[in-house]
Amino acid sequence: MINRSAHKRWLMIGVTATLIVGAIVAISQFPDCEVCQAANDILLQGTVAQNCTIDVTAAAAASNLPLTTAGAQRVQVGAVQQSCNKKVGYTLAVTSATCATAPAGAKVADSVSGEFLAYSGEFANPTTGGSQASVTGLLATTCTGQVGRDVTSAKIVGESSTVFVNFTGDAGLAAGTYQDTLTITMNVK
């Protein structure tokens, strides 16, 4: 027979033991305080997929270059329409199919006569995202790492860069068809 005082003592021991066990369980499941804080949060999350594209359009003049017209020539050969929702930005790099053939540098070449005319690329850009309005001398002597536009920390929607080629006409070129292909690549950062 347990008296009231003894029963009260046993009850207090039981409650204390329950609290200690509960605390141990809680600590073992959530060992740090951040979790305790997160327990009261509702995580909301949505995802916007990356959507970056370019659309390269060749101008009519690209296939009718005035190769024998005397003096410095600057011809618009195409446009690069760009959209990119990734705000870290991107670069537009340009390569030439004939560039690596000696002498290094972009050139339109006639496969029959073996003659060529050297040129350089130029990008005229919107200035969004810190882009340079004009980038010249591309591919003049170097075939890799030629960046026509560099966009940083900006979302681009439907902007267009204009691509030019610069060369000096040569009336002494052999008769023939002179060709090259520029390839423009968007590299998202």
Residue 71 as a binder of other proteins (CB under 8 A): the answer is no
Closest CA to 154 of 68, 85, 102: 85
Nearer to other proteins, 3 or 158 (CB): 158
Site track for other proteins across 97-136, x = CB under 8 A? -----------x-x-xx-x-x-------------------
24 vs 188, beta carbon nearer other proteins = 188
Q: Which of 19, 21, 58, 100 binds other proteins (CB under 8 A)?
A: 58
Q: Say how far apart CA 142 and CA 140 lie, in whole Å.
A: 6
Of 146, 97, 107, 153, whose CA–CA distance to 123 is shortest?
146
Minimum gap (Å) between residue 146 Cβ and other proteins: 14
Lookup: tokens for 186: 């968007």
- What are the distances in angstroms from CA 26 to CA 3, 40, 41, 46? 35, 15, 18, 31
Residue 163 token pair: 């691509």
- Could you give the CA distance from residue 50 to residue 111 in angstroms, rounded to a whole number? 42
Footprint of other proteins on 137-176 (CB under 8 A): 163, 165, 172-176
Position among 30, 126, 152, 166 found at the interface with other proteins (CB under 8 A): 30
Shortest separation between residue 26's beta carbon and other proteins, angstroms: 7
What's the number of CA atoms in the CB half-sphere (13 Å) around residue 182?
33
Query: Should residue 47 be labelled a site residue for other proteins when binding is judged by CB under 8 A?
Result: yes
Residue 155: phi, psi to the nearest 5? -95, 130
The minimum distance between CB 62 and other proteins, in angstroms, equals: 5
C-alpha–C-alpha distance, residues 184 and 96, integer Å: 9
Q: Quick one: which of 24, 35, 70, 157 contacts other proteins (CB under 8 A)?
A: 35
Can you give the binding site for other proteins, defined by CB under 8 A? 22, 26, 29-30, 35, 38-41, 43, 45, 47-50, 52-56, 58, 62-68, 77-78, 80, 86, 108, 110, 112-113, 115, 117, 163, 165, 172-188
